[in-house]
Structure 1
Amino acid sequence: MKNPVVPPCALACASLIILSVIPAILAADDNSTILLSCGASESSFVLDGRNWTSDADFNFAHPLSGESARAARQSSSVPRVPYLTARVFTSPFSYNFSLAVGGRVFLRLYFYPSDYGNHTSDDAFFSVTADTFTLLHNFSASLFAQNTTVDYFTREFSLNVSTGILNLTFSPSPTHNHSYAFINGIEIVPIPDIFNLGNAMLVTGGDVNSITYEIDPESAIETVYRLNVGGQAITDPKGGFSRLWEDDTRYLLGAAVGVTFSKNPNVSITYARGVPSSIAPTEVYETARSMGLEASVNLQYNLTWILQVDAGFYYLVRLHFCEIQYPITTTNQRVFDIFINNQTAQRYADVIAWSGNIGVATYRDYVVITTGSGQMDLWVALHPQITSQPEYYDAILNGLEVFKLQNSSNSLAGFNPEPRSDQTSDSPNGSASRKNHKALPAILGGLIGGVAFLLVAFGLIMLCRRWKKQKAEEAATSEGTYGALPLSLIGNSHFAASARTTTGSNASPLPANLCRYFSFEEIQTATKDFDESLLLGVGGFGKVYLGEIDDGTMKVAIKRGNPMSEQGVHEFQTEIEMLSKLRHRHLVSLIGYCEENYEMILVYDYMAHGTLREHLYNTRKPPLSWKQRLEICIGAAHGLHYLHSGATYTIIHRDVKTTNILLDANWVAKVSDFGLSKAGPAMDDTHVSTVVKGSFGYLDPEYFRRQQLTEKSDVYSFGVVLFEVLCARPALNRTLPKEQVSLADWALHCQKKGVLEDIMDPCLKGRIAPQCFKKFAETAEKCLADLGAERPSMGEVVWNLQFALHIQESAENSGNIIDGISDDAIPLGMFHKQDLNTPTTESTTATTISSTVSIQDRSIFASDDSQGLAPNAVFSEIMNPAGR
């Protein structure tokens, strides 16, 4: 990315004023740190004990330029200092800071995108340069805040100011009308050089640790992430020049989050030889995250963090390590591999070997190259190393930092994120865009002509309405189409078609790479004009047909809406809204839709094995093995867990049942039917108040009583699914005695009485390992707790089911399916290597897996998953004519 180019005429007109800051008036916690509250009328003392000096209080060699402004919306959630005032620039402007000490500094820029005076937040496009380095280019703080779902934020850079003079320039973008630049606060903190330490290894995918990468001591660096792994956020670290460390939880992949722990009370933190104490505060090393207690489980997954970064830059990934709990005191006790972006960065990582002892902090630096443009995911993963046969099959991490390195153009600037489709015209802090105030005279003049226009338009509208009604009646009579209004006529902003083709079909309002628009003619061709011989079944929304698209090269399931169904336009919209934004191996894939000729049609991948229910009971299909059933339940649980915690925002399915779990040609489970789905509660809320919807037999009793929906409502429904899989009977069977009608009630009764085996599927008798049966039943029982707070999360459900599967596989491998596993078969502590290698009744066989990064709980926008499975899917409830 090149430095911004300002036309000569703009340079001639701009008043570029250089301000000289007198170090004697530095408002800080020492005499070398600068804290500047821009646009403030007076200096302020804040709760963290630091003084922020108003930029108006500095003595400048030239008059202070720019406009002092206050944020239009003074939200109580936004810290008053330095965010609620700003310095606004409509022409290039420079601060010139004379630093008391030369050398490397942290430069922190504070932003609160809001309307300031006559300037709207959407107009703020600007660049920021520091001497010869471009920090931000054509930057929109509003778009950045929307993309990261924050109201205010800080961008942190590290610069080497060897001359002691730092020129910081803000330049409105010349390519945007009414553009301006603004800044709320500036912080400059002198720091030791913690980057150019000479031990960074370049991750190339080739020989590990063979290439050392030297960071230019004069380079500019941006802090992208700073995570306190396994601990809480650190907002006021001991020393460490006020660095803020974020909790790592939100960046973990899926349900396999390992375990967190704090240092042993008898352990004190020191630093390894050659490791400066400035590298990180001791608080970072006092907590950690490891993979967990069970070695057999640890061998089956990677402990993974996913971090979004700008493509096209080199990144310094710094990992902080410290063994802080006994019994890890010697080498070869805990050894693991490190992967960055699916490339091996480090083999045989042994923290004790690096640090020398327990409680001794150390770190490792890796430089990774990214290519392309836009945003991408940076993966960091750990996996136990088994070749050296360590005592514990585990991994550990205490801290994680990611720094962006400048490119060849001396730039750190990335592209602005795309506007979020779910954002209104309001700015992130709720301040509505008010661009129209600039056109007030034109509006007043237009009102006069508008009155006359409305009189004429009224007559035309009445004629158009009559004409549309006539056409609708003709279509319903001559073509047999349904009378439901298409989305383009109901005013939905997300789906209203902006254009029509010459054939009259709507242009797709959704991104082509996420959702495809089909004309009605294409749908007719794909289904041979809805040939009943291609009917797959009938669901609550309508009939589902087998179809072929793209010249017969791809099979699809086509669901045609029934106007007499209780499900209508709202469910149609919800399904498209949800599935067009979600891509996951265990969620059904929406290919596209059609809303032409008053039709509501959805097109999905074809699922060769249909619904889970049709393989459990009332079927001629062969019964599923217990291992198959476990794997299907785990897959469906992964899909629900992704909805609850892996998507951009929480999604509650609200209709989890066995007809909404589909099976592709490889028996991979996919959750389907999002017509009743709801966005989860906001961060400060515990539930969503909404009318009760769902399917009887699966309905959360707490949700039914209180009409308060949470993700634990899905957990309850999934508990019913688990018992349905075990017992091979419907959730409701009114032909049975009263106490047995509800499977949930009857299964819980039998579980508490210890006779659950009496009602299980006869096909499974003698085929389930006792400990596996116990774990599965306990998991289902916990899901059906009467109070949502007492139910596990879907992540915990995934973990427990995977554990049950490991037990079953171990029993099958040893031939002890019926009585070969004792009650203490799976110890609670960490496995030692002899536990895994000695063939006793208390061992669990460990299988070696490849050291690759699991992606089972991550959204995959390329639609095909990492295992190269062919896209398959069919629609929900196709074997249940009654629908909901």
Structure 2
Amino acid sequence: MNCATSTEILIFLSLWSLHFTVPAFAANSTFTHILLSCGTSGTFLDTVNNRTWVGDIDSQYISDEASQNSRIQDQYSLVPTVPFSTARIFTTNYTYKFPLSAGRYFLRLYFYPAKYSNYLAADSFFTAAAGLYTLLSNFSALITVNALNYTYLIREFSINVDSITLNLNFAPSTEHPNAFAFINGIEIVSSPEDIFSKSTAYNGDGTERIFSYDQGMAFQTMYRLNVGGQSLSPSKDSGNLYRSWHDDSNYTFGASFSVTLANDDNVTIEYPANMPQYIAPVSVYETARSMGPNSQFNLKHNLTWILTVDAGFYYLLRFHFCEIQYPMTKSNQRVFFIDINNQTAQTQFDVIAYSGGIGKPVYRDYVVLTVGSGQMDMWVALHPDLSTKTEYYDAILNGLEVFKMSMVENNLAGLNPVPIAQNTFDPNRANGKKSNKINAKIIGLAVGVPCAILLFCLLVFIFLSVTCKRQKKKEKESEDGKITDGTTVWTPLSLYGISNSQSDNSTKTNTTGTGIGMRMGSYNSPLPANLCRHFTFTEILTATKGFDESLVLGVGGFGKVYQGEIDNGLTKVAIKRANPLSEQGFREFQTEIEMLSKLRHRHLVSLIGYCEENNEMILVYDYMAHGTLRKHLYKSHSAPLTWNQRLEICIGAARGLHYLHTGAKHTVIHRDVKTTNILLDEKWVAKVSDFGLSKTGPTLDQTHVSTVVKGSIGYLDPEYFKRHQLTDKSDVYSFGVVLFEVLCARPVIINNLPKEEVNLAEWALFCQRKGVLEEIIDPYLRGKIAPQCFKKFAETAVKCLAEQGVERPTMGDVLWNLEFALQLQESAEESGSLIAGTTSGEETPLVHHGRKEMSDEPSTDTTTTSITASTVSMGGRSIGSVDSDGLTSSAVFSQLMNPKGR
């Protein structure tokens, strides 16, 4: 037997060092760390992370079959670091086999899509599976990096191995011609069995229900963020897990809404006895992001992150907290809500109370289900809790991890992002025709360059002439509207990878791509460009003529609404601009975009787009020529609506709400149904608007959504108010109030009336029980409503106002009853039947609540309220005094028309 050469001995020792046994975790007796550089031989030192990689040719994990089923290709790499300098190509199915002890492991796959010999990155589509788990399906690394503006990708998975071998399979896609698979590097590292909590709280119902998962469940790491701090390399992770922690600034919603914190007070980080240090390194808990010291500003905004994920999966979100600054040393100093996808996952979260003191880390896990397919934005928001009367209105977060869960068919594979348009000419495909194309180019340049120069000179002359004429006007608009030269900029919104600007250490502006995933300068804009149109601030200024006051349609709690024109004056729009001093805005702004961009219905107002440049929050809607329903009921100089018009409008609004409850992919509860949120277009078609307070409804195994009470006084469901349990029947109650408002043409709250008449809903129910409801209807309608129609309409409204939600009809039932009432009205008009109400023109004393007498009476029906106090006045029933801290007055996303009289 021949003696081993020194090279063979070195390779053997390197392989042995990658798979060794040490006492690491209690649940796993062996510690494994494999670093495999694919498509090469020898050992390679990663000088950045000080780790040694071994070529897979020299490993025990690849068989002789590899020489036939895969090809080793050198790569002309823009990323010379290991393992991206080489790759292994698979033209047929191939499986790596890793002998491992039973237990949980982190599996990391490294991809750099590039041209490998004759294999083009555009042809690479493949599936990757680890044992029973599908990790990637029809995956294109090229499409992904282009969409995200990354150079390379790292996909991390946590899998449980219950046998002696982990089989990692790569299979070219059968859906694409010339498809092949490739891999640059494979990393496997032992993980603690209990790294994922077995007791996590569902978000959205406010309870601490236990979520139990199969021990064999797999996870994909979508995000691991060191909130408020710098990125941490694998060598700086705790527990020998070699995780990467990334800077969260690319995912925050506007830098002006938060500040970063560091452990400047030298607080000692002490892990509790029941929390192992491998959960997160000390560096994560030594930095944080908070809302800042301005409590009044904080009350108007959220601390928000927007994270792009694959829809249709369950996700586990892990929040890391640690108070690191004095004077945060006791409970009830900083208490806040945790919202996930506009659902309240946690109320009254107090870091000190949960952790036990300053400098003590704590983490909490929540599980959320996303619906649909493709990519979606997951919104994570923190907001101060007013109910506990805290010392500081603020919120804080130190770290955030998001894991996709293999809940369905052991699958973790999402869809590829939407491809970005590329140049149609591909020099890699030129082959034999290359010389002909080059000659054609030379001829084209010889002829075209002189013509281009002449054309350029002509265009410059025209441009300078036009510029001189408009210069003074632009300067004025710039001064009034704060025009800047900034353009829309996008940052990566996906799981971790390296952006082009990061990989080459460049700080230059990248303007070569479009769509999401673009980095331009340091400005961050994580809003969903793929869901609706994005407007630049300059476009908004042009549309509104520099926010000309003569174009104001309405003024609400969110800000002013302007009439505008876009697309060179071809399209009229309503443009809503946030007032920086508004009590409301940020949460409603993000919810409006998220909801309306995904909902389309004839009876829902369409969101055209938005603008968030220069710290502005601007929404652009379809123009509603006839404004709000309320405008045509009272306090108006316009002609009163006929009864048939009112019925048609109510039917249209009911259709819109019925669609929200049953027609969308998941139930949407509007939560702020009122006459100012029902708009009328040029054909008097009713459209439901203002989704700033909307909530996703309960899942199939839930009966309600537990959340902070929000809505408008007078329209608020009393059951929701008392129990904080939101259902679609809450919208039904509010719509019942709208029906009586339409019938009686008076505000829902009039404080200067006798106690029993203050609240329209209670007053109408009282009159209905007494049999005198017809005496308080709009005087204009006297003698114009068919008795049977009146009966059916009133009966429907009364049922909507039932005290218990289960006793109320569904919106589908309400819609059917209203359509039937309209048929009764039309039939009566054709036959000349008798009419409900007095016909002599005499008015009873109760009629003073009608149209003519209401022009100067105060109203609070447009007050959108966030109620966190335990006392409030609901109509004639006194429930205590109104707490000013818990009751904020605004009319968020309403009053698109008529700026006066509100």
TM-score, L = length of structure 2? 0.49
Higher RCO by CA contacts (8 Å cutoff, separation 6 or greater): 1
